[in-house]
Amino acid sequence: MSRPDRLTCEEMFRRLDDYMDRELSADEAALVREHLETCAVCAAEYAFESSMLRSVRAKLSHISAPPDLMRKISLRLAEAERRGE
Ligand SMILES: [Zn+2]
């Protein structure tokens, strides 16, 4: 087997941003989905991050920010969250 059939939580967190940005390969996205279905800790983290991103994106859509600015803000939010700020 060349790839694990399950992710550890650490591997999961490393992929979470890419998963939310739809930048993972189909294989990796499937692993992330599988982990989210079986791990309450990561599922809660994903729910928190995605709801935060949704609300930021909703606000930004009202002021029609350019997509690359939205992406930068999303990355900053994810970084801040990882550092526990
Ligand atoms: Zn996990």
The 10s digit of each residue's pLDDT in 46-84 is 999 999 888 888 887 777 667 788 788 888 888 888 887
Q: Could you give the CA distance from residue 47 to residue 15 in angstroms, rounded to a whole number?
A: 15
The reported pTM is 0.60
Cβ atoms of residues 42 and 12 within 8 Å: yes
- What's the gap in Å between 30 CA and the centre of ligand 1? 14
- What's the gap in Å between 12 CA and the centre of ligand 1? 6
- What's the gap in Å between 20 CA and the centre of ligand 1? 16
Q: Could you give the CA distance from residue 20 to residue 51 in angstroms, rounded to a whole number?
A: 11
**What are 22-51's pLDDT values in tens digits?**
999 999 999 999 999 999 999 999 999 999
Q: Could you give the CA distance from residue 58 to residue 75 in angstroms, rounded to a whole number?
A: 16
- What's the gap in Å between 61 CA and the centre of ligand 1? 31
Cβ atoms of residues 34 and 6 within 8 Å: yes
What mean pLDDT, rounded, does the chain reach?
A: 86
pLDDT (0 to 100) of residue 64? 67
